[in-house]
Amino acid sequence: MFDLTGKVALVTGASRGVGKGIALGLGEAGATVYITGRTGVEGASPGKLGGSVFAAAEEVTKVGGVCHPILCDHTDDAQTRALFDRIRQEQGRLDILVNNVWGGYEHFYDGVTEFWREQGFWDMPFARWDKMFTSGVRAHFTASALAAPLMIAQRSGLIVNISFFAAQRVDKGVAYSVAKAADDQMARCMAHELRPHNVAVVALYPGLVRTESVLAAAQWFDMSNSESPQFQGRAVAALAADPAILQKSGEVLITAQVALDYGFTDIDGRQPRPLTVAEA
């Protein structure tokens, strides 16, 4: 697979789902992985989906990584600064930042918010826009801004914004699509400013990922071309191990296509097909 021994990574929002899968993929490649989450106790998440940042860390350690779980609310700048201060003090470097933390769908399955009855953006709760941009886009900007000085000093690094095809669609909800489009453009602009410092920035589109929330609604999905959360981590590991990654800086990449390009499969040995924007 890929060797990230000696590399230090941070994955935000990794108590479960894609974030946890990315941490697992980096851990199996031998990286030292810091993960953040707001859930410290099993079953305490707003969405009632299970998992915790501490349980996720145990799994990452089991697959070969060294994992440091940290409770962190990325809407609180003081907590985010403290996180990066700790990484700087303990490691003195940061090689990989994965901006995965997200907000807005916390109550999708617990019945608190009646998502399915919405007709359009005009009857969407205004708070969901705020959560997607504060817990998502702004949190990604803040973490990147705090990671950049470390990466600039060592003249190397990779920042990955976890985005989605909704950024290029008009039928996936106004708030979500606009937020993901902002993540994509953020990656392009940051890539431009960081290129002289040999630091790469990309946006990464997963396919249909078998997260806890997707599995809870599996009856509504065609799972035949689905991907594991850890598949996303293998993609990040492949990109981080590529000595020519700067050539891809500023691009929007698709996980399944990254797998084909770098020659790896999902954890079940399958080779998911890359989706197009039209079918995502």
Out of 18-22, 102-106, 231-235, which region has the weakest mean confidence (pLDDT)?
A: 102-106
pLDDT digits (tens, 9 = 90+) for 168-219: 999 999 999 999 999 999 999 999 999 999 999 999 999 999 998 889 888 9
Instruction: Please indicate whether residue 132 or residue 109 has the higher confidence score (pLDDT).
Output: 132
Instruction: Please indicate whether residue 222 or residue 43 has the higher confidence score (pLDDT).
Output: 222
Bridge-based pairing of strands 96-99 and 157-162 is: parallel
- Confidence band for 115, pLDDT divided at 50, 70 and 90: low
Q: Is this prediction's pTM over 0.85?
A: yes
Domains of the chain by start residue, with CATH = 8-104+113-127+156-262 (3.40.50.720)
Residue 60: left (phi > 0), alpha (psi -120 to 50), or beta? alpha
Q: Please write down the HEC assignment for all residues of the chain.
A: CCCCCCCEEEECCCCCHHHHHHHHHHHHCCCEEEEEECCCCCCCCCCCCCCCHHHHHHHHHHCCCEEEEEECCCCCHHHHHHHHHHHHHHHCCCCEEEECCCCCCCCCCCCCCCHHHCCCHHHCCHHHHHHHHHHHHHHHHHHHHHHHHHHHHHCCEEEEEECCHHHHCCCCCHHHHHHHHHHHHHHHHHHHHHHHHCEEEEEEECCCECCHHHHHCHHHCCHHHCECHHHHHHHHHHHHHCCCHHHHCCCEEEHHHHHHHHCCCCCCCCCCCCCCCCCC
Residues 6+ apart with CB under 8 A from 233: 21, 22, 23, 24, 25, 26, 27, 28
Query: Which residues participate in catalysis according to the annotation?
Result: 176
C-alpha closest to that of 34 among 23, 45, 25 = 23
Q: Does residue 108 register a pLDDT over 60?
A: no
pLDDT digits (tens, 9 = 90+) for 44-94: 566 667 789 999 999 999 999 999 999 999 999 999 999 999 999 999 999
